[in-house]
Structure formats: structure tokens, C-alpha cells
Amino acid sequence: MVMVHLDARRDGVDVPEQHRGHPALALNLSRAFRLDVFEVGPFSVAASLSFQGEIYQCVIPYGAIFSMTSKADGQSRIFADAVPPEVQILADEEGEEESAAPEAEEPMVDDGATARAADSGDSAGSGPFLRLVD
């Protein structure tokens, strides 16, 4: 299972009405859910997800996703260019409060350079950011 954090206000996002204004909507995606629709396309993910027992056909453009976390191993990927400003401000404030806490392992952060390196064929690129795992 992968938890994606997305800005539901971005163009092309289709989620239930009550979630459309949310700058940091978290959705869980997994083939194990046996969804009627779960399509990973070239520009977006489409999935029939359950919200309070009601099924809704969601569309999540990749540009709206700013963070992904694997529930299997806990690894996270943050796409810094896509983080909404108000979410960044909250993260900065939390970081200041936690500065006295022991340091945890840093999640991998993508500032766009990895994607550019991968697109150019540079061996420094890590390949695609989304990988479908059955």
C-alpha cells in the first residue's frame, strides 16, 4: 500500500466534493484493495476509492502529488516543487518544534534534478518515480 499526499485543489484532480479544497489530502492506494478501477496512466492515477462507504472514481494527476509513503517499508518520497505553500509553512513550524528531538532518517527529496537526469539518460537518475508493484 502507498499513501499519497496531494493538493486536491490542483487542476485535473477529481475527488469527492468535501475534499476538493484540501491542500494536503492523504489517500491510500493498493492493488490489494481489489478496486473496480485502478489505472496507472502516463499523466495520472484513476482509482475507485471508498469515502465513508461510498465509492468515488478519483483521478489524481501526478503533478498534484507532493509526497508518497510506502506502508510496506516506510520509505517516503517528497516532491519539493509540488508541496503547497501552506503545507510547507506547517512543516517548517513543526521542524522548529522538533529540532531538539533526535534526528530521524531523512526521506528522499526530489527537487526535480533527479527527473531531469533520468529524462536525459544520465546514470545519476534513479529512473521512474512511480513504480507499480503487484
81-111 tens-digit pLDDT: 889 988 886 656 665 555 444 554 444 444 4
> Spelled out in words, what is the top-level CATH class assigned to the domain 2-98?
mainly beta
Q: Where are the domains of the chain?
A: 2-98
Residue 102, strand partner residues: none
108-126 tens-digit pLDDT: 444 444 443 334 344 344 4
Q: Strand 44-51 and strand 38-40: pairing?
A: antiparallel
The label of the residue with cell 513543526 reads 94
Question: 3-class DSSP state for residue 89?
Answer: helix
Provide the grid cell at 81: 516543487
Residue pair 48/55 in contact (Cβ under 8 Å)? The answer is yes
Q: Over 90: is that where the pLDDT of 9 sits?
A: yes
Residues 133 and 16: their CA atoms lie apart, in Å, by 26
Task: Give the percent of the chain with pLDDT over 70.
Answer: 66
* Contact partners, residue 73, CB within 8 Å, separation at least 6: none
29-75 tens-digit pLDDT: 998 888 899 999 999 999 999 999 999 999 999 999 999 999 899 89
Note the pLDDT of residue 124: 41
Burial profile 82-116: b = 16 or more Cβ within 10 angstroms, e = fewer = bbbeebeeeeeeeeeeeeeeeeeeeeeebeeebbe
Sign, CA torsion 95/13/21/84: positive
Residues 44 and 26: their CA atoms lie apart, in Å, by 16
